[in-house]
Each structure stands twice: as structure tokens, then as C-alpha cells.
Amino acid sequence: MVLTPLRIGIVCYPTIGGSGILATSLGIELALRGHEVHFISYERPFRLPLEHTSIQFHPVDIGDHELFKYPDYTLPLSVKLAEVSRDHRLDILHVHYAVPHATAAILALSMLDPSQRPRVITTLHGTDTTLLGSHPAYGPAIRHALECSDAVTAVSTYLEGETRRLLQTTQPIEVIHNFVSPVLPRRSRLETRLELGVGEDEVLLIHSSNLRPVKRIDLLLQVAARLKEQSRFRLLILAGESFAPYEAEVRRLGLEDRIIVRGRTQNVEEYYSAADIGLITSDSESFCLSILEAMFYGCPTVSTRVGGIPEVIQTDSTGLLVSPGDVEALASQVSELIVNPERRKAMGQAAKQFAESHFTAEIIVPMYENLYYRKTEKAR
Ligand code: GMT
């Protein structure tokens, strides 16, 4: 069916992190389907291709005003959102994160003539509910932004429930899970392992995150320390932020020759294809996009059973889940997979199949498109 193309503004954090990655993939997929897409952020999202005829990037100039003791992003963002909405006659403003993005979008609407106002869709990714939702200085602003949005989505059923519980909003919240558009790695598994200095006889564990406290890098290193005595493995950490704060702990645990750190990278597919087991030790996670990325490349993950992760991993079939904080159990489950390549491979294949039958762009993007059409007067 041919759809009437929409003009869609996407607001996201441009830095490494699941929400920015998801928003960028969504924008690319929408452009491929014929929509006109405008990204608005303080920096170009890092996975956004430089050349794309139906995608434009509009930077927000934050400036450096000595007048303010603390830098302000919400106001310049709202002015830019009003400008882009007016100049490009946007149908939809899809904001990822309630604060400050939905707040700025709501403010932008009030700067526009009613005939120029796009519909505001707010997608919740996690921390604005789980961290800020119960914060007295943010909760009411988040609730207000949700109630003023034309539609709200959450990336997992868990997050939908938590948002209802913590924010007591009356807005309907639609669950639209995250998706991944896998790309073909440009290097072979062997070439990537060569670059990493990992032998074919070594099991390669992988952890990819922004290393924020909720990711529990302390536990990740403790698991590696427990495995050190019994197994031949290396742990690759794809670090979205600086790994420097953890280097002393790596030395203290004697893990220098086991841990490989790589910084911000575009080519995660090469690393997931070269890896054997994913390892996630988070205290909280609304979805965990990096688990899904690993699944698409046939890499099963051992993770803590928190938040929305059980919607992504079916324990014993597509990965393994253990109680949060249980270093012993995490290590023993990883160890079980290290010594059992057959089980590991079968689990990786099951993970890939599950990802391909539930979380592809072909399945998820039309859910967003449907929502957009329902909220605009435009016919499909
Ligand atoms: O903590 C992160 O990983 C960053 C954060 C973000 O906004 O980029 O991730 C959140 O959104 C991701 C994409 O929807 C989810 O996969 C992550 O689980 C979620 N993080 C948390 O809930 C802690």
C-alpha cells in the first residue's frame, strides 16, 4: 500500500545510547519509506549518515550565555522546533524522552499558529520514568509533558507499567518495542578477532553500554575476575563513555590481559559477529538495545533479570537471565556457556530467529507510521 508521505521531525540525544540509536534508525527507515525526515538536536546523531536526500539535520545553537549560571537547552530547542515545524510544515514531531524534549515541543506548539502545529509523539526510553519520574523536581514536568503530548509510547510493557505507577498519568501509553536494522559486517569474524588479538580458541565475551552507574561495571568486572581462574576468555567492552574510571579496578583484579576496551564505534556489527556471549549486569533496563543488537548477530546474552529484559530474552532459550546483583550466578551461567560451544551456538541461533521474528524494522516501523497517521488528518 502506498502511503501519503509525512514530514516528520525527530528529536533525540545524539550521543551513544539506545534512545539516540533507535531514533536514528527510525528516521533512516522512515526516509527509506518515502517520508521527509528532520533531525533536531545539539549535535548530529552519531549513527546518522552524512548524505541522505530525505533527511536533514538542524543543529540547536545552545550558545554560551554568561547570563545563566547553568546552561539552558530547553528554550533554544523549543525555538528551533517552532522554526523547523513552521518552515518545513511538519506533520509530526516525534520526541525521544519527555524531558527536556517533550517539554520543549509543547512550548514550541504554543509559539505557533494553530494551523502550523505538528502532532507531538513522545517516546519514553527509560530513565525519565525510572530515574526522574519520582523526583519531585522533575516528576510533575514529565507528567505535564506526557499529558500534553498527542500520543505517548514506551519501549516495553515493563516501562509502560512503571510510567503508570510512578507518574500516575491518565494518558494512554502504547507499547512499541525497539528494533534493529542489522547490516552486513565489512570484516570477517576472523579479521575482527585478529584486530582484537583474540585467538579462535578463546571465547570472546562482549559488553556494550554507556557505562553509567546503572550498568554496574563493578559487577561486570567481578564476574570476569571469577571466570579468570577457570576459562580461556577475553571480555570486549564497547564503551560509550570513558573507561578511565574503571582502569584501577581492572588492575586490582588482575584483568589487564583479559579486558579489551574499544571506544565509540560505528561498526558494532563486526564486534557482535566476532563475539560468542553478551554480558549485561544492569540494575535496571527498560529494554536493553545492545542485547537485541547482539541477538541479530547470533550472539546470546547472559543478563540480569531486570525491567524489560525478559521481553527481549527468553531464559534458557535465547539467552540466560539471573537475579540482579548475583555475581556468582552470572559467572556460573557464563562459564556454562563457555565450556559448552554447542549450547552457546544453538542459543545464538534461537536468539537470532527470535529477533528476526519480533524486532525488525519491517515489524516495528509500521507501528510508528500507523500511530502518526492516526494522529494527523492525513490519509494513508
Ligand atoms: O542507559 C542507557 O543505556 C541509555 C538509555 C538511552 O536513553 O539511550 O537507554 C534507555 O533506552 C534504550 C533504548 O530504548 C533502552 O534499550 C535502555 O534499556 C534504556 N536504559 C535504561 O532504561 C537504563
307 within domain boundaries: yes
Residue 2 lies in a domain: no
Which atom of ligand 1 sits closest to the CA of residue 20? 8
Tell me if 1 is assigned to some domain: no
Collapse the DSSP code of 13 into the 3-class scheme (helix H, G, I; strand E, B; otherwise coil) and give the result: coil
Distance CA 322, CA 328 (A): 10
Contacts of residue 186, Cβ cutoff 8 Å, sequence gap at least 6: 267, 270
Q: In this structure, are 117 and 24 located in the same domain?
A: yes
> Which residue among 127, 215, 280 has the greatest number of ligand 1 atoms within 8 angstroms of its CB, and so is best to mutate?
127
Same domain, yes or no, for 217 and 145? no
For 128-165, the pLDDT digits (tens) are 888 888 899 999 999 999 999 999 999 999 999 999 99
In the prediction, which pLDDT does 63 show?
Answer: 76
Integer Cα distance of 137 and 81 in angstroms = 24
- In short, whether 17's Cβ falls inside 6 Å of ligand 1 is yes
Co-location of 370 and 234 in the same domain: no
The CB of 182 under 6 Å from ligand 1? The reply is no
204 shares a domain with 162: no
pLDDT at 380 over 70: no
3-state class (DSSP) for residue 14: coil
Atom of ligand 1 nearest to the CA of 282: 23
Pick from 107, 151, 57: nearest CA to 369: 151
| Residue 131 and residue 27 share a domain | yes
Q: Residue with C-alpha cell 522533575?
A: 138
Assess whether 200 and 345 both reside in one domain: yes
Instruction: Provide the 10 A C-beta neighbour count for residue 143.
Output: 19
Q: Give me the number of domains the chain comprises.
A: 2
> Within this chain, do residues 141 and 208 fall inside the same structural domain, yes or no?
no
What is residue 102's DSSP assignment?
I
Q: Are residues 198 and 177 in the same domain?
A: no
* CA–CA separation, 218 and 231 (whole Å): 20
Query: Contact 98/128 with Cβ under 8 angstroms?
Result: yes
The answer as to whether 320 is a domain residue is yes
Domain identity same for 198 and 261: yes
What crossing angle do the helices spanning 327-338 and 217-228 adopt, rounded to 10°?
Answer: 50
User: Are 133 and 231 members of one domain?
Assistant: no
pLDDT value for 134: 87
Query: What are the C-alpha distances in Å from 304 to residues 171, 319, 353?
Result: 30, 11, 22
Say whether both 159 and 301 belong to one domain.
no
- Name the burial class of residue 315, with classes exposed (0-12), middle (13-18) and buried (19+) by CB atoms within 10 angstroms of its CB: middle
279: which strand partners? 302
| 1 has a pLDDT exceeding 60 | no
CATH number at residue 342: 3.40.50.2000
**Residue ranges making up the domain that contains 69:** 7-181+360-376
Residues 326 and 206 in one domain: yes
Neighbours of 380 (CB within 10 A): 12
Non-local (6+) Cβ contacts of 290 within 8 A are: 18, 208, 209, 278, 280
Which atom number of ligand 1 is nearest to the Cα of residue 130? 22
Task: Pick the atom of ligand 1 nearest to 97's CA.
Answer: 7
Spatial CB neighbours of 340, under 8 Å, sequence gap ≥ 6 = none
Ligand 1 centroid, distance to 125 Cα (angstroms)? 6
The answer to whether 143 and 168 are in contact (CB under 8 A) is: yes
> Does residue 379 carry a pLDDT above 70?
no
Q: Give residue 20 CA to ligand 1 midpoint distance, Å.
A: 9
Is it the case that residue 174 has pLDDT exceeding 90? yes
Per-residue cell: 259? 579486558
CB of 15 sitting under 6 A from ligand 1: no
Does the structure show a pLDDT above 70 at 321?
Answer: yes
Mean pLDDT (whole number) for 347-368:
98
For the whole model, what pTM was predicted?
0.95
